Amino acid sequence: MADAPTDIFALHALGNPDKPAVIEGDDVFTFSQVNTEVNRLANALRDLGFDQGDRMVWCGPNSREVLVTIHAGRKLGLVSVPLSYRFNPEEMHYIIDNSAAALVIVDAEQAPLVASISDRLPNLREVVVYRGEQDGFRRWDDVVAAGGDEEPPPAPGAASGETMIYTSGTTGKPKGAKRGPADQSLVFAMVAKLRMGGEEVHLTTGPLYHSGPNAFAFLSHMLGGTVVIMRKFDAHEWVRLVTKHKVTSTFSAPTQLKRIVSLPDEEIASGDYSSMHTLIANAAPVPYALKQEVIAKLGDGFLFEVYGSTELGVDTILEPEDQLRKPGSCGKPYGGIEVKAVDENGNALPPNQPGELFFRTALAMEGYHQTDEQLAEAGEGWKSVGDVGYIDDEGYVYISDRKKDMIISGGMNIYPAEIEAVLYQHPDVMDVGVFGIPDDEWGEKVHAVVQAKPGRVIDMHDIEGFASARLAGYKRPRSWEFRDELPRTESGKLLKRVLRDEHWKGRQTGV
């Protein structure tokens, strides 16, 4: 008699084999079916020579195959590296190469992009393509068919998997944030605070290569819940899926919520949201007016806001009862997480005094991959991603601005230094500053201020084409400004705040 499995997903498959694990559109896949596919992929990859610690990049829109890949990599102890399907070939090359990935699993939509750079990836041994094929790469169906159904031997210390999600910083080059298995007591505290449980029907509103949507879809599976896949976000489909499958939870950026509540009133009214108990808003500050609209149109009692980051995990939670009572807040720490605001000298500030926010949490990343750059620290275990805010008398956190220059547009993190580095390569550009300016739909949009070299004139069509050839669509400037000179300090530091403030006057916050 075979030993009982120790993997949590496999235990769910054993205890509830016919329960839906994944619903994609209207196609239903049970825990038994998905776990079998996971095992076949894991065993096939092991037979191809992949082992614990190998880096596995996966890339593609939300799909069953993405979830199967994540679980298979976890069972083998591979380090999972999500890659945005919106990247261009050079952006993909940087992350695959920098992570030293030995394996890429990719949707057929993005396979030609990987093929175009594969000869420049010395560590890459195999590429597996699903939902289609690509010359020179293995087909998903062939790989899965070659693997056995049995549970692979458990990977030591990899019960919850390891991930490396790329994020950027002051240098403009993406950095891999390394994460090991999460602190289970803190995860349980978060689950309880978010009122999630074992009967979850979780809808993937955002792309799974983002840390938030990825984490909550995975968590729903670990709780024995069902994950409803939306390949790419569509507000009409969101209403239909929530209603049809009686969705209980989802994780959404404000831009997606804005598109949902902007649907015609009769379409919103035709949906049934009574099953929803946890709608988590995150990835960008959530405007108070949007919260009011969500509650008025979708219902009350299930809207949560969380504050967190790829590097530090979820740090605060604002519960439904506090959404309208605490306008502007992103909630309080939970489960023993601590927060403090500090001044420029590192001294803790009293309530309601803004400063850089530092958190002490067991969900913090292990560090960045292949770089000396690390998070700012303020004493033992205290770390910061550079956000500025304050803590009120009741312990609620308010984010007022970002110390770093990161732009959040439609829930996407965009790093100006990366865009500036590209624009500096244009032969007519002398100086450039990139920052976010207000946008009613996206929250922020990318704005570029450019100074031409002496005697040169920059053609708008030319520089837009230059950017388009080198940057993913969401990173490209949406508006441009040309100046004779950009403001700088005597030491040569760009006074980006001077430029940025011109566009943010009259607003309570700078984000």
Whether residue 386 is contained in a domain is answered as no
User: From CA 414, how far away is CA 172, in angstroms rounded?
Assistant: 9
Which residues, at least 6 apart from 92, have a Cβ–Cβ distance to it below 8 Å? Answer: 59, 83, 110, 113, 114, 117
User: From CA 102, how far away is CA 100, in angstroms rounded?
Assistant: 6
The count of C-alpha atoms lying within 13 angstroms of the C-alpha of 285, restricted to the half-sphere facing its C-beta, is 26
Q: Among positive and negative, which fits the CA dihedral 97, 100, 104, 106?
A: negative
Out of 91, 126, 159, pick the residue that ends a domain. Answer: 159
Planar angle of CA 153, 75, 367, nearest 5 degrees: 125
Whether residue 143 is contained in a domain is answered as yes
**477, amino acid identity:** P
Whether residue 289 is contained in a domain is answered as no
User: From CA 132, how far away is CA 143, in angstroms rounded?
Assistant: 13
What is the DSSP-derived secondary structure letter of residue 432?
E
Calculate the alpha carbon distances from 24 to 65, 176, 227 in Å. 10, 30, 8
For residues 118-151, one letter each, b for 16 or more C-beta atoms within 10 angstroms of the residue's C-beta and e for the rest, the string is beebeebebbbbbbeebeebbebeebbeebeeeb
**Contact predicate 444/438, CB 8 Å:** yes
Which H or E element spans position 157? none
For residues 397-419, one letter each, b for 16 or more C-beta atoms within 10 angstroms of the residue's C-beta and e for the rest, the string is bbbbebebbbbbbbbbbbbbbbb
For the domain that residue 93 is a member of, what is the CATH number? 3.40.50.980
Could you tell me which of 120, 136, 137, 119 has the C-alpha nearest to residue 128? Answer: 137
The count of C-alpha atoms lying within 13 angstroms of the C-alpha of 459, restricted to the half-sphere facing its C-beta, is 5
Whether residue 146 is contained in a domain is answered as yes
Whether residue 323 is contained in a domain is answered as no
What is the DSSP-derived secondary structure letter of residue 488?
B
Planar angle of CA 387, 388, 390, nearest 5 degrees: 125
Out of 159, 181, 210, pick the residue that ends a domain. Answer: 159
For the chain, what's the residue count?
A: 511
In sequence order, the β-bridge partners of residue 306 are: 317
User: From CA 408, how far away is CA 435, in angstroms rounded?
Assistant: 10
pTM of structure: 0.85
Q: Among positive and negative, which fits the CA dihedral 37, 190, 203, 472?
A: negative
For the domain that residue 440 is a member of, what is the CATH number? 3.30.300.30
Residue pLDDT, tens place only, 370-413: 888 888 888 789 999 988 889 999 999 998 766 777 788 888 87
List, in sequence order, every beta strand (DSSP E) within 351-493. Answer: 355-360, 367-368, 376-377, 383-384, 387-391, 397-402, 407-409, 412-414, 429-439, 443-452, 479-482
Instruction: Find the Cα–Cα–Cα–Cα dihedral 28, 32, 34, 38, rounded to 10°.
Output: 180
How many independent structural domains does the chain possess?
2
Which H or E element spans position 67? helix 64-76
User: From CA 74, how far away is CA 430, in angstroms rounded?
Assistant: 48
Residue located via tokens 């969705």: 247
Angle separating helix axes 211-222 and 64-76, nearest 10 degrees? 70
User: From CA 283, how far away is CA 49, in angstroms rounded?
Assistant: 37
Could you tell me which of 46, 264, 24, 287 has the C-alpha nearest to residue 152? Answer: 46
What do you get for the CA distance between the two ends of the chain, in Å?
A: 59
Out of 109, 130, 159, pick the residue that ends a domain. Answer: 159
Which domain covers residue 422, as residue numbers? 407-504
Q: Give the distance between the most distant pair of CA atoms in the chain.
A: 82
Whether residue 321 is contained in a domain is answered as no
Structure tokens at 372: 């000396």
Whether residue 499 is contained in a domain is answered as yes
**Contact predicate 337/361, CB 8 Å:** yes
**Contact predicate 69/103, CB 8 Å:** no
Q: How many CB atoms lie within 10 A of CB 485?
A: 8
User: From CA 240, how far away is CA 273, in angstroms rounded?
Assistant: 10
511 residues of the chain, pLDDT tens digit each: 456 578 999 999 999 999 999 999 889 999 999 999 999 999 999 999 999 999 999 999 999 999 999 999 999 999 999 999 999 999 999 999 999 999 999 999 999 999 999 999 999 999 999 999 999 999 999 999 999 999 998 877 644 568 999 985 444 578 899 988 888 899 999 999 999 987 899 999 999 998 899 999 999 999 999 999 999 999 999 999 999 999 999 999 888 898 899 899 999 999 999 999 999 998 667 878 889 999 999 999 999 999 998 899 999 999 999 999 998 899 999 999 999 999 988 899 999 998 999 999 999 998 899 888 888 888 789 999 988 889 999 999 998 766 777 788 888 878 787 888 889 889 898 888 999 999 888 889 999 999 998 888 999 999 999 999 999 999 999 999 999 999 875 445 688 888 988 888 766 566 6
Structure tokens at 48: 């191809």
Could you tell me which of 137, 131, 143, 141 has the C-alpha nearest to residue 118? Answer: 137
The count of C-alpha atoms lying within 13 angstroms of the C-alpha of 275, restricted to the half-sphere facing its C-beta, is 18
Structure tokens at 159: 């019960």
Whether residue 84 is contained in a domain is answered as yes
Residue pLDDT, tens place only, 341-363: 999 888 999 999 989 999 999 99
